[in-house]
Chain A
C-alpha cells in the first residue's frame, strides 16, 4: 500500500496549457511538500503545507498554485505551462513538518512541456 502516491507518473503537454498533478498520503502526516527536480537532478523545495495551510512558498512563479483540500492531499496546478517547467515533480510528507523530520517521498511526476 503506497504511502505517498502521485498521479500522473508521466505528463506530456504543449506550451501554454494548464495541468494538475495530484498527491495523496495515507500516513496520517500533517505536512506535505512539493519538490522540483531539474535536468541536473537538483531537488529544490517549492511549497509546504501544514494541515491545509501554506507554510513555505519558495520564489515559485504564481503560475504554480498548490491546493490542499484536506491534510492528506496536496495538488499542484500549473497555468500557462512553459518549456522551463519540464522537470520531475516530487510530493513528500512528514509527521508534523518540524525541523529535521524524516520525509517520505512519492515516486515523482515527469512533466515534459513541448
Chain B
C-alpha cells in the first residue's frame, strides 16, 4: 500500500531556529516528491519539487532532500521566521500516476 507519513505532526519553535521536517513513503517507485505549504483558509502553495533522479532542491531558506532507497525526504528550514508558521505537506507522485499526500506538519514559529 502506498502511504506517506510525516513526523512530527506539530512543531513549535522560537524564531531563528533551524528545523527539519520529515516525510517517509512506503514505495520507492516514485516520479517525484513535492513539499507544499498550506495556510489557514488558503490553498496549497508548492514550495519544492524533487524529481526521483535528484537528491535535493533549494529555494531561499528552504532545502529539501530525497533518499529514494530509504523512502525518506526532509525539508530543512533555515533561520525560521514567524511568517513560516503554516502546515507543511509532503506529497509523493507514485508511478501509478497517483499523488499521495502526507497528513502534514503544523509549524508554529513564535517571536
Chain A residues close to B by CB (< 8 Å): 4, 9, 40-45, 56, 90, 92, 99-100, 102-108, 110
Contacts and interface: CB of A to CB of B under 8 A. Distances in A.
Given A41-B87, A103-B44, A104-B46, 15 more contacts: A4-B43, A43-B101, A45-B98, A45-B99, A56-B97, A90-B43, A100-B52, A102-B34, A102-B49, A105-B36, A105-B45, A106-B43, A107-B42, A108-B42, A108-B43
Contacts of B49: 102
A57 B6 CA distance: 26
B103 A42 contact: yes
Contacts of A99: 31, 93, 95, 97
A100 B46 contact: no
A42 B43 contact: no
A90 B38 CA distance: 12
Interface in B31-58: 31-32, 34, 36, 41-46, 49, 51-52
Q: How large is the interface on B (under 10, 10 to 19, 20 to 34, 35 or more residues)?
A: 20 to 34
A99 to B, nearest CB: 5
Contacts of A9: 41
Contact of A42 (B31, B93, B97, B101): B101
A43 B89 contact: yes
A100 B46 CA distance: 13
A40 B102 CA distance: 11
A39 B59 CA distance: 31
